[in-house]
A and B are shown apart, each in its own frame.
Chain A
Amino acid sequence: MLKYVVNRLLSLIPVILVTSFMIYWAMSLTEGDPAMMIAGDGASQEMIEQIRHDLGLDQPFLLQYFNYMKGMLVGDMGKSYVTNKDVFATFFQYLPNTLYLGGSAVIIATIVSIPLGIYTAIHQNTWKDTAGMVFALFGTSMPNFWLGLMLIIIFALHLRLFPTGGNFGWKSLVLPAVTVGFGLAALITRITRSSMLDVMRQDYMTTARAKGCSEKRVIYKHGLKNALIPIITAIGLQMSLVITGSVLAETVFSWPGIGRLVYESITRRDIPMVTGSIILCSILMCIINLIVDLVYAFFDPRIKAQYSKKG
């Protein structure tokens, strides 16, 4: 297992290098000359050349990228064109807010959805199942930024229970976290239910019942444990959704996180901030994916065995 972890960690390095290279390359091709943007209107040609030289933009592209990545290792990813703040420091200043929002959303979603998924699977084809599935259907069908807007209209503008935005204590977390978590909860409920139903048709469930296991033990020990693999994959797959949801919810609720940072940087065409944030977000996602894979191996001994054979 340790060998597997080390292998996976090592395999992250090329992934991070290729990802960051592609992003850096793509962003460097975007319209607009950064030197001219910084110099502003009416700047002389010499001044623009000087800025270009200071930024290292007159060097070959590969060298620029190499210097950029070297800088990243020591926390130097350049400065914003607009605010002149350090990109690396700004990202890590905003990151905790996004993790706080995303984490709360995942916790809310998991607490609601896994029990609901099991419950609906056990009561398949009854009204309880239908009610649960109607909730899940609406949840997966709703764009979460729209849900955010509706929550603002109902709970902030009409009922005045929560603030419309910003980050001022737990009250301002409620609406954004529900916005991000609702769709996620619906998805996990659907997947838990369908996975449980698949498992419940298996022969080993019948065997477990035949040998006299209590129904609870059959469902949780024999059923859920086998059904968990697709559920964990699904939660892992949805981490990207959490980030996406956070970008949107942060925009809707003016929540000071990475999403809002990226959104504002795009609208201001602040390329270093966009590039830096996206590269750092991708590295974060690689780490999250690795954790998901490890959890996956932990829950499924077959996968663990396969990797230890390979590794």
Chain B
Amino acid sequence: MAAKKRIKGRTMFQETWHRLLKNKGAVIGMAFLALLVVVAVISPFVFDYETDVIGQNLAMKLQAPNSEHWFGTDEYGRDLFARVMYGARYSLAIGVGSVGFGLIVGTILGSIAGFYGGKADDIIMRGIDIFYSIPNILKAVVIVSLLGTSTINLIIALAISCATNYARIVRASVMTVRDLEYVESSYAMGLPTWKIILRHILPNCLSPIIVQTTLLIGTTIISASSLSFLGIGVPAPAPEWGALLSGGRAHIRGASYICVIPGLAIMFTVLALNLLGDGLRDALDPKLKK
């Protein structure tokens, strides 16, 4: 009896987790992201926002990295280390918030369009086309001009872009599997449509959705920082990483470290997400199961 139980083994989640842990890149990515989450959570306790993060001290301006200011100081004498650490809060919240929101909306729209086809498909996809036809950055310009510059409005602007991406990809995947035999047999078994979509079609489209999610959280963090770089993202003086780069641009000749460090923070965060995503993709891909 005991031996039988052991053979029964793990659930699908445990199986995936086990495989994920075998992937070095994914483990490194997870470790970095865990560290980043810790930094984001503890930074308000370590640094005082009013004095350490946005408080100006012109006597200390534009100091190159040294033992007192590990990452140097900016043109207002603010410690770049404190600002970069605090900035993790913005990037993580914006990235996860926008993608999560976009994933839910986009998957629902994409699966309805792909599964039912016909009129529903036409209406949804034309709607998506409309949003999609405006490049993300310009869409964000319009939304932020309309709603005003704030972090929440930035999340809304970015979520719309994510949703359109998901809808297109989910629709394409659903279209490729909806006529396969196992879907037909689910029909024959008398399953309701929503159950077929949720339990038989979507799990078989999971691979592109996961690849897209990993790419999207990363690209959303990049988009957020790009918009802040242009001055239409997170409003100053908040230490968003893109805003830090925007401030540093004026000092690229004399104090190039201001342009280097926040960019590295963005790059390593997105790199970690991509490593984790690739690991997840391999771990979840049933074709690799053998």
Report A's interface with B, CB cutoff 8 A: 11, 14-15, 18-19, 22-23, 26-27, 29-30, 133, 137-138, 140-146, 149-150, 152-153, 157, 187, 194, 198, 201, 233, 237, 240-241, 243-244, 247-248, 251-252, 262-263, 266-267, 274, 278, 281-283, 285-286, 289
Known contacts A149-B245, A244-B226; is-contact A140 B270 (Cβ 8 Å):
yes
Q: Restricting to B159-214, which residues have a CB under 8 Å from any CB of A?
A: 165, 168, 172, 211
Q: Is B211 within 8 A of A194, CB to CB?
A: yes
Instruction: Write the chain A residue with the least CB distance to B232.
Output: A266
Residue in chain B with minimal CB distance to A201: B287
Q: Per-residue CB proximity of B258-280 to A under 8 Å, as 1/0?
A: 01100100111011001100100
- Asked whether B64 is an interface residue with its Cβ less than 8 Å from the other chain, the reply is no
Indicate whether A143 sits within 8 Å of B132 (C-beta atoms), given known contacts A26-B145, A138-B267, A243-B138: no
The answer for the CA separation of A144 and B267 in the assembled complex, in Å, is: 10
Contact of A289 among B132, B268, B270, B287 (CB under 8 A): B132
Residues from chain A with Cβ under 8 Å of B252 in the complex: 149, 152-153, 157
Q: Are the CB atoms of B270 and A244 closer together than 8 Å?
A: no
Is the pair A153, B129 in contact by a Cβ cutoff of 8 Å?
A: no
Which residues in chain B, 211-226, are within 8 Å of chain A measured between CB atoms?
Answer: 211, 215, 218-219, 222-223, 225-226
Contact of A278 among B130, B138, B287 (CB under 8 A): B138
> In the complex, which residues of chain B have a beta carbon less than 8 angstroms from the beta carbon of A266?
141, 145, 230-232
B135 touches A286 (CB 8 A): no
By a CB distance below 8 angstroms, the chain A residues around B168 are: 233, 237
Known contacts: A267-B231, A274-B145, A282-B134. The answer to whether A149 contacts B263 by CB under 8 A is: yes
Q: Which residues of B contact A248 (CB under 8 A)?
A: 137, 226, 229-230
Say yes or no: A157 contacts B253, CB within 8 Å.
yes
Closest residue of chain B to A28 (Cβ to Cβ) is: B146
Could you tell me how many residues of chain B have their Cβ less than 8 Å away from some Cβ of chain A? 50
A sample of 12 more A-B contacts (CB under 8 A), given A150-B260, A285-B135, is A22-B142, A26-B145, A141-B218, A143-B270, A144-B226, A145-B226, A149-B259, A237-B168, A247-B135, A266-B141, A278-B141, A289-B132
Contacts A145-B226, A233-B172, A243-B135 known; A15 to B129 CB distance under 8 Å?
Answer: yes
Q: What's the Cα separation between A162 and B104 when bound, in Å?
A: 45
- The answer to whether A19 and B267 touch (CB under 8 A), given A149-B245, A237-B168, A251-B230, is no
The answer to whether the Cβ of B126 comes within 8 Å of any Cβ in the partner chain is yes
CB neighbours (8 Å) of A145 from chain B are 226, 229, 242, 245
Complex CA gap A27/B252 in Å reads 34
Bound together, the chains give a CA A247 to CA B227 distance in angstroms of: 10
How far apart are A227's CB and chain B's nearest CB, in angstroms? 14
Which residues does chain A contribute within 8 Å of B225, judged by CB atoms?
143
15 contacts between A and B (CB under 8 A): A19-B133, A141-B218, A142-B263, A142-B266, A142-B267, A142-B270, A143-B225, A143-B263, A144-B226, A150-B263, A153-B260, A194-B211, A244-B137, A251-B229, A278-B142
Binding site for A on B (CB under 8 A): 126, 129-130, 132-138, 141-143, 145-146, 165, 168, 172, 211, 215, 218-219, 222-223, 225-226, 229-232, 242, 245, 248-249, 252-253, 256, 259-260, 263, 266-268, 270-271, 274-275, 278, 281, 287
A141 adjacent to B126 (CB under 8 Å): no
Distance between Cα atoms of A245 and B135 in the complex (Å): 10
In the complex, residue of chain B having the shortest beta-carbon distance to the beta carbon of A194? B211
State which of B135, B226, B249 has its C-beta within 8 Å of the C-beta of A143.
Answer: B226
Pick from A138, A142, A240, A281 the residue with the most CB of B within 10 Å: A240
Report A-chain residues with C-beta under 8 Å of the C-beta of B226. 143-145, 244, 248
Q: How far is the CB of B16 from chain A (nearest CB, A)?
A: 18
Residue of A nearest to B146 (CB): A26
Given A11-B126, A149-B259, A266-B141, A30 and B146 contact (CB-CB distance below 8 Å): yes
Alpha-carbon separation in the docked complex, A26 to B156 (Å)? 15
Considering the chains assembled together, what is the distance between the CA atoms of A141 and B136 in angstroms? 18
Q: Please measure, in the bound complex, the distance between the C-alpha atom of A251 and the C-alpha atom of B232, giving whole angstroms.
A: 13
Measured between alpha carbons, how far is A187 from B277 in the docked complex, in Å?
14
A187, B215: Cβ atoms under 8 Å? yes
Contact A30 B145 (CB under 8 A): yes
The interface residues of chain B lying within 8 Å CB-to-CB of A241 are: 136
- How far, in whole Å, are A247 and B134 apart by their CA atoms in the complex? 13
Residues of B near A283 (CB, < 8 A) are 133
Q: In the assembled complex, how far is the CB of residue B51 from the closest CB belonging to chain A, in whole angstroms?
A: 28
**Residues of chain B with a CB closer than 8 A to A244's CB:** 135-137, 223, 226
B122 and chain A: residue at smallest CB distance: A11
Supposing A137-B275, A145-B226, A153-B252 touch, asked if A240 and B242 sit within 8 A by C-beta, the answer is no
Q: Across the interface, do B133 and A15 meet the contact criterion of CB distance under 8 Å?
A: yes
